[in-house]
Amino acid sequence: MAAMEFKILKRDNSSSARVGEISTPHGSVMTPCFMPVGTSAAVKTMSPRELREVGAQIILANTYHLILRPGTEIIKKAGGLHKFMSWDGPILTDSGGYQVFSLAERRKVTEEGVHFQSHVDGSACFLGPEESIKAQEAFGADIITTLDECPPFPCEHEKVRESLETTLRWERRCKELHQEGESGLFGIVQGGVYRDLRERSVEALLETRFDGYAIGGLSVGEPTSQMYEIAEFTASLLPEDKPRYLMGVGTPIDIVECVWRGVDMFDCVLPTRNARNGKAFTPDGPINVRSAKFKEDFSPVQADCDCYGCRNFTRAYIRHLLNVDEILALRLLTTHNLRFYLQLMSRLRGAIAAGATEAFRAAFKEGYRRRESSP
């Protein structure tokens, strides 16, 4: 029996949006969903119970970071990633491919996999499809992903094509090794901004058959309009009955736009990283809480937000904490930003279920851009 299942609960009539439910060994996830990024077995600044409180259903962890520190063996000995980090909800792990190509040094790609130097201590490492799957299975993740090569942007058609063919061979090896009863396995669609390569990628992955499909290689520098276009095109090629995960995307508006285009799952470091830079998301657009204009602003970051930060603290207080380098500032802003993202997903699910996706999308974009266009 498959460890992961997906069912669609409601389809939107006027768009490709849908509400669904993914069941995993550690519980269910309503989609569209956003996965907070727990890079090294922790969502930065947050405790697991705070993640629950802001409404996180599932989190993501990075295989690349975990195999370097603390190492697969320690997580295995701890009884798996859930137990190690004390998070009992679903976990999705990436394959390590993206970070190997963005963080690691002296990469050498061969048919077997990637030789590289750790960005932490320069030690020689190797990650192939088998190593990635074995690590993710040792972690005990609920949803795991295939090893892929992520070409840069821009990149010539021929190079993206060659890279894609390597990725497709790696993905088949991942599928062969994968133990079906333990986790769901997602294939990753590559092909850059080239429609024919995206078609080729989807066609090959469908032949291999996966439990879900990730759209990789976007949000790597291409214009936003092109990202939307390729995400929409790729989503349209994917089977209705499997979840679609757009990797590393994005801003609140990106998420609204891509849910509308048929995407079910998202992850992004924006809410957590921006918080650590003093930035908060609001329905009127992002604000920089460090700004002097909030010096005596005794209102919460977002008046109608139900997060712990907004219920108890003011912009003036958080601005002060940022000024004196207090960690509590980063915690309160991370809490708020994650709540903002997760609340957005919940409202999107509500809008889709109510058949009001298009109205929600228009109203959200109108509100969100008001600040940017105001004098």
Give me 349's structure tokens.
């699910």
Catalytic residue from among 12, 94, 142, 211? 94
Task: Between 48 and 89, name the residue whose CB sits nearer to its own copies.
Answer: 48
Q: Which residues of 90-114 are buried (b: 16+ CB within 10 A; e: fewer)?
A: bbbbbbbbbbbbebbeeeeeeeebb
Contact between 251 and its own copies by CB under 8 A: the answer reads: no
94 is catalytic: yes
Exactly one of 180, 196, 240, 296 binds its own copies (CB under 8 A); that residue is 296
Residue span binding its own copies (CB under 8 A) among the ranges 70-78, 228-236, 255-263, 357-365: 70-78
Task: Between 204 and 310, name the residue whose CB sits nearer to its own copies.
Answer: 310
Q: How far apart are CA 349 and CA 362, in angstroms?
A: 15
Residue span binding its own copies (CB under 8 A) among the ranges 81-89, 125-133, 193-201, 254-262: 81-89
Catalytic residue from among 12, 148, 254, 267? 267
The runs of H, that is alpha helices, within 40-80 are 48-53, 63-68, 72-77
Residue type, 179: Q
Residue span binding its own copies (CB under 8 A) among the ranges 73-81, 148-156, 206-214, 256-264: 73-81
Contact between 47 and its own copies by CB under 8 A: the answer reads: yes
Burial of 130 (0-12, 13-18, 19+ CB in 10 A): middle
267 is catalytic: yes
Contact between 295 and its own copies by CB under 8 A: the answer reads: yes
Contact between 291 and its own copies by CB under 8 A: the answer reads: no
Exactly one of 10, 69, 107, 293 binds its own copies (CB under 8 A); that residue is 69
**Are 211 and 185 contacting, i.e. CB atoms less than 8 angstroms apart?**
yes
Size of the site for its own copies (CB under 8 A): 38
Exactly one of 316, 346, 347, 353 binds its own copies (CB under 8 A); that residue is 316
**Are 32 and 42 contacting, i.e. CB atoms less than 8 angstroms apart?**
no
Contact between 77 and its own copies by CB under 8 A: the answer reads: yes
Exactly one of 157, 277, 298, 299 binds its own copies (CB under 8 A); that residue is 298
Contact between 26 and its own copies by CB under 8 A: the answer reads: no
Selection from 251, 256, 157 nearest residue 198 by Cα: 157
Contact between 317 and its own copies by CB under 8 A: the answer reads: yes
- The sign of the CA dihedral 355, 359, 360, 362 is positive
Residues 6+ apart with CB under 8 A from 167: 146, 147, 148, 149, 188, 190, 201
Q: How far apart are CA 263 and CA 234, in angstroms?
A: 10
Q: How far apart are CA 158 and CA 143, in angstroms?
A: 32
Task: Between 118 and 224, name the residue whose CB sits nearer to its own copies.
Answer: 118
Give me 9's structure tokens.
């609960």
Exactly one of 23, 28, 40, 117 binds its own copies (CB under 8 A); that residue is 40
Task: Between 1 and 324, name the residue whose CB sits nearer to its own copies.
Answer: 324
Footprint of its own copies (CB under 8 A):
40-42, 44-49, 65, 69-70, 74, 77-79, 84-86, 295-296, 298, 308, 312-314, 316-317, 320-321, 323-324, 326-328, 330-332
Catalytic positions: 94, 267
